[in-house]
Amino acid sequence: MTPVMTTPTPRFDELKRRAREVAKHAYAPYSRFPVGAAVLCEDAIYSGANVENVSYGLSVCAERNAVFNAVAHGARRVDAVVLYTPTPATATPCGACLQVIAEFGPDAVIVCCSDDENAERRYTLKELLPAAFRAPQLAKR
Protein backbone atom coordinates (compact mmCIF):
# COMPACT_ATOMS: atom_id res chain seq x y z
CA MET A 1 0.00 0.00 0.00
CA THR A 2 1.25 3.47 -0.89
CA PRO A 3 0.08 5.96 1.74
CA VAL A 4 -1.87 8.66 -0.05
CA MET A 5 -0.33 11.63 1.72
CA THR A 6 3.08 10.46 0.53
CA THR A 7 1.95 9.55 -2.98
CA PRO A 8 4.45 11.14 -5.36
CA THR A 9 3.32 14.18 -7.34
CA PRO A 10 3.82 12.36 -10.67
CA ARG A 11 1.18 9.85 -9.52
CA PHE A 12 -1.31 12.65 -8.82
CA ASP A 13 -0.39 14.22 -12.16
CA GLU A 14 -1.28 10.92 -13.86
CA LEU A 15 -4.58 10.74 -11.97
CA LYS A 16 -5.41 14.30 -13.06
CA ARG A 17 -4.48 13.53 -16.66
CA ARG A 18 -6.69 10.43 -16.67
CA ALA A 19 -9.64 12.32 -15.12
CA ARG A 20 -9.35 15.08 -17.74
CA GLU A 21 -9.09 12.54 -20.55
CA VAL A 22 -12.11 10.48 -19.50
CA ALA A 23 -14.26 13.61 -19.08
CA LYS A 24 -14.17 13.83 -22.88
CA HIS A 25 -16.24 10.64 -22.93
CA ALA A 26 -18.92 11.84 -20.52
CA TYR A 27 -22.50 11.53 -21.66
CA ALA A 28 -23.98 14.85 -20.48
CA PRO A 29 -26.55 16.00 -23.05
CA TYR A 30 -28.87 17.50 -20.41
CA SER A 31 -26.56 19.35 -18.03
CA ARG A 32 -23.77 19.89 -20.55
CA PHE A 33 -21.46 19.43 -17.56
CA PRO A 34 -18.94 16.68 -18.40
CA VAL A 35 -17.06 15.33 -15.41
CA GLY A 36 -14.15 12.91 -15.21
CA ALA A 37 -12.78 11.01 -12.24
CA ALA A 38 -9.82 8.74 -11.61
CA VAL A 39 -9.23 6.63 -8.53
CA LEU A 40 -5.99 5.21 -7.19
CA CYS A 41 -6.36 1.71 -5.76
CA GLU A 42 -3.00 0.54 -4.45
CA ASP A 43 -0.92 0.84 -7.64
CA ALA A 44 -3.73 0.78 -10.21
CA ILE A 45 -5.72 3.68 -11.67
CA TYR A 46 -9.33 3.37 -12.78
CA SER A 47 -11.40 6.10 -14.38
CA GLY A 48 -15.00 6.99 -15.05
CA ALA A 49 -17.13 9.75 -16.56
CA ASN A 50 -20.60 10.93 -15.68
CA VAL A 51 -23.44 9.31 -17.60
CA GLU A 52 -26.75 11.16 -17.63
CA ASN A 53 -30.22 9.85 -18.30
CA VAL A 54 -33.33 11.76 -19.31
CA SER A 55 -34.76 10.51 -15.99
CA TYR A 56 -32.25 12.52 -13.95
CA GLY A 57 -32.35 10.20 -10.93
CA LEU A 58 -30.87 7.41 -13.05
CA SER A 59 -27.76 9.42 -13.95
CA VAL A 60 -24.45 8.27 -12.45
CA CYS A 61 -21.63 10.60 -11.45
CA ALA A 62 -18.06 10.19 -12.66
CA GLU A 63 -16.72 9.41 -9.19
CA ARG A 64 -19.11 6.50 -8.67
CA ASN A 65 -18.40 5.19 -12.16
CA ALA A 66 -14.66 5.28 -11.42
CA VAL A 67 -15.09 3.46 -8.10
CA PHE A 68 -17.45 0.90 -9.65
CA ASN A 69 -14.94 0.35 -12.47
CA ALA A 70 -12.23 -0.30 -9.86
CA VAL A 71 -14.45 -2.75 -7.95
CA ALA A 72 -15.38 -4.53 -11.19
CA HIS A 73 -11.65 -5.10 -11.69
CA GLY A 74 -11.19 -6.55 -8.20
CA ALA A 75 -10.12 -3.48 -6.21
CA ARG A 76 -11.49 -3.18 -2.70
CA ARG A 77 -9.63 -0.14 -1.39
CA VAL A 78 -9.55 3.40 -2.78
CA ASP A 79 -6.56 5.50 -1.74
CA ALA A 80 -7.24 8.68 -3.74
CA VAL A 81 -9.92 10.18 -5.96
CA VAL A 82 -9.32 12.93 -8.52
CA LEU A 83 -12.36 14.80 -9.78
CA TYR A 84 -12.04 17.02 -12.86
CA THR A 85 -14.55 19.57 -14.11
CA PRO A 86 -13.92 21.77 -17.18
CA THR A 87 -14.69 24.94 -15.25
CA PRO A 88 -12.74 27.83 -13.72
CA ALA A 89 -13.60 26.71 -10.16
CA THR A 90 -13.44 23.20 -8.77
CA ALA A 91 -16.39 21.07 -7.71
CA THR A 92 -16.49 18.56 -4.87
CA PRO A 93 -18.20 15.17 -5.07
CA CYS A 94 -21.90 15.01 -4.24
CA GLY A 95 -23.13 13.27 -1.09
CA ALA A 96 -23.94 10.00 -2.86
CA CYS A 97 -20.43 9.85 -4.32
CA LEU A 98 -18.86 10.65 -0.96
CA GLN A 99 -20.80 7.80 0.64
CA VAL A 100 -19.61 5.36 -2.05
CA ILE A 101 -16.02 6.58 -1.60
CA ALA A 102 -16.42 6.04 2.17
CA GLU A 103 -17.29 2.38 1.54
CA PHE A 104 -13.96 1.70 -0.16
CA GLY A 105 -11.74 4.59 0.89
CA PRO A 106 -12.47 5.92 4.37
CA ASP A 107 -8.97 7.43 4.45
CA ALA A 108 -8.95 8.56 0.82
CA VAL A 109 -7.65 11.91 -0.31
CA ILE A 110 -9.91 13.73 -2.74
CA VAL A 111 -8.31 16.08 -5.25
CA CYS A 112 -10.65 18.46 -7.06
CA CYS A 113 -9.21 20.08 -10.17
CA SER A 114 -10.46 22.20 -13.02
CA ASP A 115 -9.17 24.13 -15.99
CA ASP A 116 -7.50 26.56 -13.57
CA GLU A 117 -4.52 24.74 -12.04
CA ASN A 118 -4.40 27.31 -9.22
CA ALA A 119 -7.94 26.36 -8.18
CA GLU A 120 -6.97 22.78 -7.23
CA ARG A 121 -8.16 21.69 -3.78
CA ARG A 122 -7.28 18.61 -1.72
CA TYR A 123 -9.48 17.19 0.99
CA THR A 124 -9.65 14.13 3.15
CA LEU A 125 -12.89 12.21 2.88
CA LYS A 126 -13.52 12.99 6.54
CA GLU A 127 -13.43 16.72 5.79
CA LEU A 128 -16.16 16.39 3.17
CA LEU A 129 -18.22 13.66 4.88
CA PRO A 130 -17.42 13.73 8.60
CA ALA A 131 -20.24 11.38 9.64
CA ALA A 132 -20.37 8.77 6.89
CA PHE A 133 -22.85 5.94 7.28
CA ARG A 134 -20.70 2.87 8.02
CA ALA A 135 -21.27 -0.89 8.28
CA PRO A 136 -21.14 -0.99 12.12
CA GLN A 137 -24.32 1.09 12.11
CA LEU A 138 -26.07 -1.93 10.60
CA ALA A 139 -25.23 -4.10 13.61
CA LYS A 140 -28.11 -6.13 15.00
CA ARG A 141 -29.77 -4.67 18.05
Using CA atoms, how far apart are residues 86 and 94, in angstroms rounded to an integer?
17
Q: What is the tens place of the pLDDT at every residue in 47-100? A: 999 999 999 999 999 999 999 999 999 999 999 999 999 999 999 999 999 999
Task: Give the domain extent around 125.
Answer: 4-138
Query: CATH code at 125?
Result: 3.40.140.10
Residues identified as active-site:
63
Q: How confident is the model at residue 3 (pLDDT cuts 50, 70, 90)?
A: very low
94 against 139, higher pLDDT: 94
Q: Is the pTM of this model over 0.85?
A: yes
58 against 7, higher pLDDT: 58
- Asked if 4 contacts 108 with a C-beta cutoff of 8 angstroms, the reply is yes
User: Cβ-count burial of 124 within 10 angstroms (0-12 exposed, 13-18 middle, 19+ buried)?
Assistant: middle
Read off the pLDDT of each residue in 95-115 and give the average, rounded to a whole number: 97
Mean pLDDT of the chain: 92
Q: Which of 19-23, 36-40, 77-81, 132-136 has the lowest mean pLDDT?
A: 132-136
Split into its structural domains, the chain has a count of 1
Q: What percent of the chain has pLDDT over 90?
A: 84
Using CA atoms, how far apart are residues 85 and 100, in angstroms rounded to an integer?
19
pLDDT of residue 2: 42
pLDDT of residue 83: 98
Using CA atoms, how far apart are residues 56 and 4, in angstroms rounded to an integer?
34
